[in-house]
Amino acid sequence: MFEMAMSISSVCGVLVAAWLLWRARNQGDLQALAGFAIMMAIWCFGHVVLFQGYEKIGINIILANPLMPTFFLHFAIVFVNSGPAKERTLDRLHLAIPWFYVASVAVVLHSWWMEAGDAISTLDTRSFFIFTDAGSWNLAYTVLIGMLAHGVLLFGWYRHSGNKKRSILAMFGVGAWGLLLATSFVFPSFGISWFPYPMLLLPTYLLLLVYAVVRYQILSVNAFANRALLWLAMMLVILCLIAVISVVSGRIGLQALADVPSWQLWLYSLLMLLMSALIYQPLNRLISRLIYPGAVLNETVLDTWSSRLKEAQDWEQLTALGEDLLSSQIRRSIEIKLNVLQSDSVLDDRDLALQVSRSDSGWRFMLLGWEDASPGMRLTAEVFGSLFSTSCGLLERSLALAATERKRLDEKHLVELGGLSASMAHELRNPLNIIAMAAYDTPPETRQHIQTQLKRADRLVSDMLVYSGGLTLQISTTPLRALVLGILAQAQLDGVAYEIDIDESIELEADPQRLQQVFINLIDNAVAFLRNQPNGKFLIAARTDDKTVVIQVHNNGPEVDASLQGETLFQPFVTKRAGGSGLGLAIVRRIVDAHNGKIQHRSDSGWPVTFELFLPLHSSSTSISNRDPYDTK
């Protein structure tokens, strides 16, 4: 058993070293760890050679053990000192690494010259290595280098955080396990005639050490470790089961089974387990095709779905990608219905659809029209639906982050624009006042024309100050009908007719000055288009809906250009009105948003143009400043 354990350790050391060198890719720490694995393989092979009767060769190989901790010290220094933050002490140790190798080789040569090792017969009459009196230097140097290496790791544990700190902590645990296993190696050297049973588990030390190092650097090793532990647990269960069968079978009349050696039962069971591992995947695919015919789902398909769905930048693109991927997979036309898109399409009885909706607990999906689909198609759709729902959540968070960043930039722009507007207002109004005073000496027609243009310029400056400046609300209870009638009594309507449909009982908590500005801008905007139109008319209506006041300002003027409808209509400096500043509706939008309300344009209310406002009856605060003009919430 000891010889088998050492042979397995040698093979594991060579395989691990080859794997590390393959994955190292110029990583000094993994290359040094590969050197440690090779030296451990050589050291274990020395015990096998010694067991085979080649005592001189085996002893000399084992006496090379100082090189093992030297490679580990090299690994520890590079591992701890990697990253942006370098330590001077470790830099000096790193420069001294060649001298550690020279010293280790000198100790090995001295041990060979002084014959620091010998062989004795253990309980099973095989040869086992022991240190002579001259070998104390070899053993002491090996222990000292090992302690220095773990001291470097301890220093790294204090200096680092995150995954590197966790790796170092795991290495200390594995190091304690290795020390426990290796302690029995020196027992015979001190006259303790115990068989080194702990060394039988030595293969686990190297594997656990490498896993502790690379589990956070090479993630694929975790999947391999997961499978390895699963099969190891199954082997242990079989071993325990065979032990129970060996004890119980004779007592229940199965003497023939009881006479079979336990090791043979265990070997047969192990072979069966190995055979099961080999045929599991093929059988699994075959059974899946029988149960779910037509379903071809594997890691490649899932990775393709995931990567393609991540490319979507908005809901329309995500829906189009999802329909294309699922339709291509099952070779049927599929429609995906997202509640955020508010699609009004009607499904045909023969159509297949995937409905995805947002709930309080997250995104959920539902299959519509799949009753007659094959089990394979339903399985494919369910797997895709789960992945698509996850993609919806990712896109939702991505859009929210983008909106937050856009809001931050807009607020920064407003601050800059506010300072610029204040400066411009000061610089512009002084020459405008001079022009106004100089116009008194001009002919009446010229003076009238100049005053008209001066009013227009002053209105533009005022609008810029209102839009770009800080917006603070002074909330009070405001009768809506009285407010609108007061505005109309002072407005210059130029013969445009109007109607009011507002109940006198409607009151809302709002800033009356800001709300007055909303109606002035909307009425002025309507009159500008109705002034030269026969039978021009506008209607202001309001009603209460639960906790909201719904206000509609209709007019029978020309319809809004299709290129301006939607959010574009409320952006600054966008207008089709002759002589307009392009800030009127943007200011309205900002004031309504500051009241936690909403404004939208409608063309389906029976009037060519309708602006619909939603304002809360009760305000949640008394002062709101610098609301984002593009925030639609």
Report the 3 state secondary structure along 346-365: CCCCCCEEEEEEEECCEEEE
Q: What is the DSSP string of 172-218?
A: HHHHHHHHHHHHGGGTGGGT-----GGGGGHHHHHHHHHHHHHTTT-
Looking only at the bridges linking them, the beta strands covering 609-616 and 598-602 are antiparallel
Same domain assignment for residues 158 and 24: yes
Residue 88 has pLDDT above 90, yes or no: no
Position 79 in a domain: yes
Query: Average pLDDT, stretch 295-311?
Result: 79
Environment class of residue 625 by beta-carbon count within 10 Å: exposed (0-12), middle (13-18) or buried (19+)?
exposed
Cα separation, 352 vs 377, whole angstroms = 11
Sign of the alpha-carbon dihedral angle for 594, 597, 599, 600: positive
Instruction: Compute the average pLDDT of residues 182-196.
Output: 65
What is the spatial distance between Cα 308 and Cα 325, in angstroms, rounded to a whole number?
9
Task: State pLDDT tens for residues 251-261.
Answer: 776 777 667 67
Do the bridges between strand 548-555 and strand 537-545 make them parallel or antiparallel, or are there none, so unpaired?
antiparallel
Q: Across residues 515-529, what is the average pLDDT?
A: 87
Q: Which residue bears the tokens 């991927």?
A: 325
Q: Is there a single domain that holds both residue 524 and residue 375?
A: no
SS3 assignment, position 540: strand
69 Cα distance to chain centroid: 40
As given in the structure block, the two tokens for residue 270 are: 């192990």
Question: What size, in residues, is the chain?
Answer: 633
Structural domain includes residue 336: yes
In terms of domains, do 132 and 279 share one? Answer: no
CB 356 within 8 A of CB 388: yes
Which domain-ending residue is among 400, 423, 442? 400
Instruction: List pLDDT tens digits, range 265-279.
Output: 667 777 777 777 677
| Burial class of residue 548, CB neighbours in 10 A (0-12, 13-18, 19+) | middle
b/e burial code for range 137-152 (CB count within 10 A of at least 16 → b): bbbebbeebbebbbeb
Question: Average pLDDT for residues 361-379, to the nearest whole number?
Answer: 80
What is the distance between the alpha carbons of residues 343 and 338, in angstroms, rounded to a whole number?
Answer: 7
Those residues with Cβ within 8 angstroms of residue 388's Cβ, 6 or more apart along the chain or in another chain: 309, 322, 336, 354, 356, 365
Q: What is the CA 368 to chain-centroid distance, rounded?
A: 31
For the cut 80, the answer to whether the pLDDT of residue 392 exceeds it is: yes
Alpha helices (H) along 443-561:
444-468, 480-490, 512-530
Q: How far apart (Å, rounded) are the C-alpha atoms in residues 21 and 177?
A: 25
User: Which of 283 and 151 is assigned the larger pLDDT?
Assistant: 151
| CB contact at 8 A, 576 and 568 | no
Between 477 and 27, the higher pLDDT residue:
477
Give the Å distances, CA to CA, from 15 to 45, 230, 368, 521: 14, 21, 53, 80
Q: Do 283 and 316 fall into the same domain?
A: no
The number of angstroms, rounded, from the C-alpha of 214 to the middle of its chain's C-alpha atoms is 22
Answer for the pair 524, 513: CB distance below 8 angstroms, yes or no. no
Q: What's the pLDDT tens digit per position in 549-600?
A: 999 999 988 888 777 776 777 777 666 555 555 677 888 888 888 888 899 8
Does residue 436 have a pLDDT over 90? no
Residue 450 corresponds to which amino acid?
Answer: I
Whether 376 and 489 map to the same domain: the answer is no
Q: Are residues 26 and 162 in the same domain?
A: yes
Q: What is the pLDDT of residue 105?
A: 92
pLDDT score of 614: 92
Domain membership flag for residue 625: no
Tell me, yes or no, whether 114 and 210 share the same domain.
yes
Q: Which domain holds residue 242?
A: 234-291
244 and 119 in one domain?
A: no
Q: Give the CATH number, domain containing residue 525.
A: 3.30.565.10
Question: How confident is the model at residue 131, as a pLDDT?
Answer: 79
Burial 432-458 (b: 16+ CB within 10 A, else e): eeeebeebeeeeeeeeeebeeeeeebb
What pLDDT score was predicted for residue 549?
92
Q: Are residues 81 and 99 in the same domain?
A: yes
Distance CA 630, CA 585 (A): 12
* Domain shared by 205 and 66, yes or no: yes
Cβ neighbours of residue 155 closer than 8 Å, sequence gap 6 or more: 80, 87, 89, 90
Is the residue at 112 inside a domain? yes
Predicted confidence at residue 185, as pLDDT, reads: 67
What is the number of structural domains in the chain? 4
Tell whether 25 and 130 lie within a shared domain: yes
Q: Is 606 inside a domain boundary?
A: yes
CB 589 within 8 A of CB 629: yes
Residues 322 and 273 in one domain: no
Residue finishing a domain among 188, 218, 248? 218
CATH of the domain at 130: 1.20.1070
Judge whether residue 601 has pLDDT over 60. yes
Specify the pLDDT at position 126: 66
pTM of the shown model: 0.43
Residue 544 lies in a domain: yes
pLDDT at 628 > cutoff 50: no
In angstroms, the CA 629 to CA 626 distance is 9
Distance from C-alpha of 391 to C-alpha of 389, rounded to nearest angstrom = 5
DSSP state of 560: P
Residue 21 lies in a domain: yes
From residue 589, give the alpha-carbon distance in Å to each of 340, 407, 554, 596, 628: 23, 15, 17, 11, 10
Contact 466, 622 (CB under 8 A): no
Q: How many CB atoms lie within 10 A of CB 431?
A: 10
Cross-strand pairs, 365: 356
Residue 155: predicted pLDDT? 85
Is 456's pLDDT higher than 70?
no
**Which of the two residues, 280 and 7, has the higher pLDDT score?**
7
Q: For residue 88, is it within any domain? A: yes
